[in-house]
Structure 1
Amino acid sequence: MTETMISLHHTHNPKSNQCSSSMVKTVNAPLPLVWSILRRFDHPEGYKYFVRDCTMVVGSGGVGSVREVELVSGLPGRLSRERLDRSDDDMHVMIYTMIEGDQRLDNYQSTTTVHEDHGGGGGTVVIESYVVDVPEGNSEEETRLFVDTVLGFNLTSLANLTEKLAAAAKG
């Protein structure tokens, strides 16, 4: 099933001035809990490490909604406007595109899917992939390293939050 989801949702065809990558994170929390946090397009600061605040500009978090994300200081850029392109609660798929901002990630599109971990532990596998323009003056490797680092922090933060919530629910 995971291989099918990867081929359906995480296969990008970057143009010559773009790069792409993907990250996989296993989370020791049930899929419904992980998805309930991740799917909140209107509240990325709930788990994304580098997001200070989020304001909905269009919509309330459904497909077609646009959010303005304020980034923490220290990152290149302060703001990003992002549009939710797809959110599927049955398939656990979310796709969004950065449509403007000063963060140097032009034409950034992120795809995230959430899957049951079939290893027997009742956990969840989160896969996030992206495609993005390589900024002028940067290499593909530098761009990938930057984005992968941010994604790694975000996925670790998501795992820490949901694992704490799952442990608290168990009592």
Structure 2
Amino acid sequence: MRSGGGGVGSVREVMIISGLPATTSTERLDELDDELHVLVVSIIGGDHRLENYHSTTTLHESEGGSKTMVTESYVVDIPPGNSKEDTWTFAEAIIGWNLKSLATVSEEKVRNCEA
């Protein structure tokens, strides 16, 4: 954590270990609504080529209540020297990695609660 206590306005430095062409990302928590299950994050720095990246993650309970669907949407500028496809591929790879990590952590917590 670079600044803040984990609430809105906090800034964290993330070490990217996924093998993508980047090693760090600096992210700011812009919105956190526990009641509506909304998380909004902006990437404000790092050694990647994502410019003006803002993402919104929402959680939606399934009808039976046994599963949760996670939706993440984002906007990002295409930086000079990059194509739309390159930017999209990189952003999608990061989102995919983040969602897989979230699933792993969530599934582990469920297993621990059931034990």
SS in 2 for 1:107: strand
Which residue does 1:167 correspond to in 2?
A: 111
Q: Tell me, yes or no, if the aligned pair for 2:2 and 2:12 is still in contact at 8 Å.
A: yes
Matched residues in 2 for 1:78 and 1:161: separation?
21
Gaps of 5+ in 2: none
Q: Tell me, yes or no, if the aligned pair for 2:18 and 2:97 is still in contact at 8 Å.
A: no
Q: Superposition pairs for residues 117-136 of structure 1, below 5 Å? A: 117-118=62-63, 120=64, 122-136=66-80
Gaps of 5+ in 1: 1-55
Q: Which amino acid in the other structure matches residue 106 of structure 2?
A: T
Cα distance, 1:95 vs. partner?
Answer: 0.5
SS in 1 for 2:85: helix
Q: Superposition pairs for residues 44-123 of structure 1, below 5 Å? A: 56-72=1-17, 74-118=19-63, 120=64, 122-123=66-67
Q: Deviations for 1:45-89, whole angstroms, at most 9, x for unmatched residues? A: xxxxxxxxxxx1211111111112222274323322211110111
Q: Tell me, yes or no, if the aligned pair for 1:59 and 1:65 is still in contact at 8 Å.
A: yes
2:92 to 148, 164, 169: 148
Matched residues in 1 for 2:92 and 2:18: separation?
19
Matched residues in 1 for 2:71 and 2:18: separation?
27
Tell me the number of residue pairs that the alignment of Structure 1 and Structure 2 aligns: 115
Matched residues in 2 for 1:162 and 1:96: separation?
20
Structure with bigger RCO (C-alpha 8 Å, 6+ apart) = 1
Q: Deviations for 1:72-127, whole angstroms, at most 9, x for unmatched residues? A: 27432332221111011111111111112221111111111111012x26110111
RMSD: 1.8
Length-normalised TM-score, structure 2:
0.86
Q: Tell me, yes or no, if the aligned pair for 2:53 and 2:74 is still in contact at 8 Å.
A: yes
Q: Superposition pairs for residues 1-20 of structure 1, below 5 Å? A: none
Cα distance, 1:149 vs. partner?
Answer: 2.0
SS in 2 for 1:58: coil
